[in-house]
Structure 1
Amino acid sequence: MADVAHLVSQAREGNPRAVARLISLVEGAAPELREVMATLAPLSGSAHVIGITGSPGVGKSTSTSALVTAYRQRGKRVGVLAVDPSSPFSGGALLGDRVRMGEHASDPGVYIRSMATRGHLGGLAWSAPQAIRVLDAAGCDVVLVETVGVGQSEVEIAAQADTSVVLLAPGMGDGIQAAKAGILEIGDVFVVNKADRDGADATARELNHMLGLGEARGPGDWRPPIVKTVAARGEGTDEVVEALEKHRAWMEEHGVLAERRLKRAAQEVETIAVTALRERIADLHGDKRLGALAERVAGGSLDAYSAADELVEGLTGEK
Structure 2
Amino acid sequence: MHEQLKQQLEHAQAGDRGALARLISVLESGGSDAAILERCLRARHGGGYTVGITGAPGAGKSTLVSALLGEVLAEPGRVALLAVDPSSPLSRGALLGDRVRMQPHAGSPDVFIRSMASRGHLGGLAMATRSARRLLEACGWPLTLIETVGVGQVELDVASATDTVVVVLNPGWGDEVQANKAGLMEVADIFVINKADKAGLDATRRDLEGALASLPPERRPQVLETIATEGKGAAALWQAIRDHRAAITASGELEQRRLAQVRSELKGMMDALLANQVQRLFEGQDAHARVLAVSEGSLDIATASDQMLDLLYDQAAGRV
TM-score using structure 2 length: 0.88
Unaligned runs of 5+ in 2: none
- 1:237 and 2:238 equivalent? no
Q: Is the 8 A contact 1:78 1:141 kept in 2?
A: yes
User: For residues 123 and 278 of structure 1, what CA distance do their matches in structure 2 show?
Assistant: 12
- C-alpha displacement of 1:224: 0.8
User: For residues 112 and 105 of structure 2, what CA distance do their matches in structure 1 show?
Assistant: 8
The aligned amino acid for 2:53 is: I
User: For residues 180 and 28 of structure 2, what CA distance do their matches in structure 1 show?
Assistant: 33
- C-alpha displacement of 1:166: 0.4
Q: 1:38 to 1:57 in 2, by over 3 A?
A: same
1:162-183 Cα distance to aligned partner (Å, 9 max, x none): 1111000113426961664531
Partner of 1:226: 223
Map residues 43-192 of structure 1 onto 2, 5 A cutoff: 45-87=46-88, 90=90, 92=92, 94-96=94-96, 97-118=98-119, 124-151=125-152, 154-173=155-174, 177=178, 180-192=181-193
- C-alpha displacement of 1:226: 0.4
- C-alpha displacement of 1:160: 1.1
The aligned amino acid for 1:177 is: Q
- C-alpha displacement of 1:36: 2.3
Q: 1:264 to 1:226 in 2, by over 3 A?
A: same
- 1:265 and 2:266 equivalent? no
The alignment covers a number of residue pairs equal to 312
- C-alpha displacement of 1:21: 1.2
SS at match of 2:108: coil
Q: Is the 8 A contact 2:130 2:158 kept in 1?
A: no
- C-alpha displacement of 1:267: 1.7
Q: Is the 8 A contact 1:81 1:143 kept in 2?
A: yes
The aligned amino acid for 2:264 is: Q
User: For residues 177 and 301 of structure 1, what CA distance do their matches in structure 2 show?
Assistant: 51
- C-alpha displacement of 1:60: 0.9
Q: Is the 8 A contact 1:52 1:144 kept in 2?
A: yes
Q: 1:222 to 1:305 in 2, by over 3 A?
A: same
SS at match of 2:32: coil
TM-score using structure 1 length: 0.88
Q: 1:42 to 1:132 in 2, by over 3 A?
A: closer
The aligned amino acid for 2:297 is: G
User: For residues 125 and 234 of structure 2, what CA distance do their matches in structure 1 show?
Assistant: 24
The aligned amino acid for 1:142 is: L
Q: 1:158 to 1:272 in 2, by over 3 A?
A: same
SS at match of 2:82: strand
Q: 1:286 to 1:241 in 2, by over 3 A?
A: closer
- C-alpha displacement of 1:94: 4.5
- C-alpha displacement of 1:151: 4.1
Counting aligned pairs with the same residue, the percent is: 41
Unaligned runs of 5+ in 1: none
Q: Is the 8 A contact 2:86 2:125 kept in 1?
A: no
Map residues 207-218 of structure 1 onto 2, 5 A cutoff: 207-212=208-213, 214-215=214-215, 217=216
User: For residues 179 and 243 of structure 2, what CA distance do their matches in structure 1 show?
Assistant: 23
- C-alpha displacement of 1:150: 4.1
Q: CA RMSD in A?
A: 2.6
Runs of 4+ with >6 A deviation: none
- 1:28 and 2:41 equivalent? no
- C-alpha displacement of 1:250: 1.5
Partner of 2:14: 13
